[in-house]
Structure 1
């Protein structure tokens, strides 16, 4: 977490949390969801505007974390901005030698577990967290599976949040939907 964020939290400890305004899609793209978009319906059916400002995206990445209940948020100064997830809190990119890097830039060692859902999507559980393999990296993932380096276990998409401790919609969880 950035020092400036820690200082803001200390200075203004009681700023209310923000729900529904930020979304993360299955390819690691962030979306700003204003009142109009939120009124139109839930994420990802109504995504909003894709964020393109690199410095803002880097700031989000440095200050992105889960709370104790598995709700992922971006600590924006003194305010927590909870994130609506299309799929998982991390999106993994696969590099040379099947190296892993999350959409946030965090590298991870080899996965502890490889998961395949009923739609054929591949997920990796690592020391850095649980995430979906980016769709553009499925050829590299297939190589890792075919070589026996990764051995997928089948799991239902609906069971992943409970099994890996994350919440896809903190806004719905907060409202009790």
Structure 2
């Protein structure tokens, strides 16, 4: 987390959380969702405005985290902005390096963190490939499925089938976090 964000948290510790205003699609793109977009329909059917500004994307990436409920958020200064997720909290970029027996597969998160270990992989009913990694659980970006398919065909990854609806519970993440009700 950025030092400026940590300082803002100390200076303004009681800023209310925000819900529904930011989303992450299965390609690793961030989307801003103002009131009118939220009223027009749920994410991902109505996405909103894609964040294109490189410095803003880098800031979001550096300050992206999750709480104990499995709700993922962007810590925007003193305000926690909870995200809506299309598929998973991480979107994984897969690159193939080399050919034949010398081939290896480099994986990183959409936030730019290198993945060192793939623990397991799953295929859902939509044909999407998900990896459980040392960085967390994520969907392989659709544009990287050729490289991922090569890893499967080479026997490096052996996907098991799992219905998508079971994944958030099994891997402890919330696709659409809501405010915690205090009683």
Smaller-chain TM-score range?
A: over 0.9
Partner of residue 62, structure 1: 62
Partner of residue 75, structure 1: 75
Q: As a proportion of its length, which structure holds more helix?
A: 1
CA distance in 2, matches of 1:170, 1:148: 36
The one-character-per-residue Cα deviations of 1:52-106 (angstroms, maximum 9, x if unpaired) are: 0000000000000010000000000000000000111111011222111111101
Give the 3 Å change call, closer, same or farther, for CA 174–42 of structure 1 in structure 2: farther
Query: Offset at 1:39?
Result: 1.0
Partner of residue 94, structure 2: 94
Partner of residue 160, structure 1: 167
CA distance in 1, matches of 2:121, 2:35: 38
Partner of residue 147, structure 1: 154
Query: Is 1:48 aligned to residue 55 of structure 2?
Result: no
CA distance in 2, matches of 1:142, 1:43: 28
Query: Offset at 1:158?
Result: 0.2
State the 4+ residue runs in structure 1 displaced beyond 4 angstroms. none
Q: Alignment partner for residue 121 of structure 1, among 125, 128, 153?
A: 128
Query: Offset at 1:110?
Result: 3.0
Report if aligned partners of 1:99, 1:110 keep a CA contact under 8 Å in 2.
no
Partner of residue 112, structure 1: 119
Report if aligned partners of 1:113, 1:125 keep a CA contact under 8 Å in 2.
yes
CA distance in 2, matches of 1:156, 1:53: 35
Query: Offset at 1:117?
Result: 0.7
- 1:160 partner SS: helix
Report if aligned partners of 1:73, 1:83 keep a CA contact under 8 Å in 2.
yes
Say which one has the larger Rg: 2
1:7-22 map, 5 Å: 7-22=7-22
Task: Identify unmatched segments of 5+ residues in structure 1.
Answer: none
- 1:99 partner SS: strand
Instruction: State the TM-score, normalizing by the size of structure 2.
Output: 0.92
